[in-house]
Amino acid sequence: MKVLLHMCCGPCSCYPVKQLRAEGHELSGYFFNPNIHPYKEFKRRFDTAIEFAEKVDLPIQIDRNYQLRDFLWRALSAEKREETLTEKPRCRMCYAWRLHQTAVYAKENGFDAFTSTLFVSPYQLHDVMKDVAEKISRAENIPFLYEDFRLGWNEGVEICENLNLYRQPYCGCIFSEEERYSNRWKKEHKKKMKKLREELQG
């Protein structure tokens, strides 16, 4: 299948690209991440995505449009509107924006399906992303290729180290940059990772 792979960054692309190619898919990368701030970090991430793509011979399309104000407006509106309805409303919005843009691009450019490297990360709200992607797939009438790439997270980290790629210390938005210094967040995160490891090991 001709698959458009949304790339959140270079490191998270390592395992999904290897896995999808092993399954025989023809891949193109698509970098659309208006969530990443500040600009220097945004640029560093798309430079790393390009570096990765060159190293593994992957065609790639980069959206270099830096959308700080639009992202903040959407994130704060989502938090205000849905704070009692969903977990981390800004993340749901952030997934939806990026995956919707990917689905539209895939449809307009003759791809058979779309997916995202976000599905490799144990740090993301995996089930929320899956739900969002499936809804977008139905609305835009283009298949979403789902795989739980988290099973290859450790392998991806190893590939990334071998390729000597820059690994970022926070998810992307300014809020996640704040969270990386929060002890409460670190504690919650440690608990979550322990639970996830147990689940993945069956």
Kindly state whether residue 133 participates in binding ligand SF4, applying the rule CB under 6 A. Answer: no
Kindly state whether residue 171 participates in binding ligand SF4, applying the rule CB under 6 A. Answer: yes
Taking CB under 6 A as the rule, which mask of x and - marks residues 104-123 in contact with ligand SF4? --------------------
115 - beta bridge partners?
Answer: 5
Q: What is the closest distance, in whole angstroms, from the C-beta atom of residue 100 to ligand SF4 in the complex?
A: 14
Q: Please tell me the distance from the alpha carbon of residue 41 to that of residue 20, in angstroms, as a whole number.
A: 28
Name the one residue in this structure whose structure tokens are 């990368």.
Answer: 29
Select from 103, 98, 127 the least CA-distant residue to 113: 103
- Please say which residue, 41 or 112, places its beta carbon nearer to ligand SF4: 41
What value does the CA radius of gyration of the chain take, rounded to a whole number of Å? 16
Name the one residue in this structure whose structure tokens are 């739980």.
Answer: 148
- Please say which residue, 2 or 73, places its beta carbon nearer to ligand SF4: 73
Kindly state whether residue 94 participates in binding ligand SF4, applying the rule CB under 6 A. Answer: yes
Instruction: Rule CB under 6 A: choose which of 90, 115, 119, 156 binds ligand SF4.
Output: 90
Kindly state whether residue 7 participates in binding ligand SF4, applying the rule CB under 6 A. Answer: no
Q: How far does CA 168 lie from the centroid of its chain?
A: 13
In the window 173-192, what residues touch ligand SF4 (CB under 6 A)? 173, 175-176
DSSP state of 24: T
Interacting residues with ligand SF4 (CB under 6 A) = 35, 90-91, 94, 171-173, 175-176
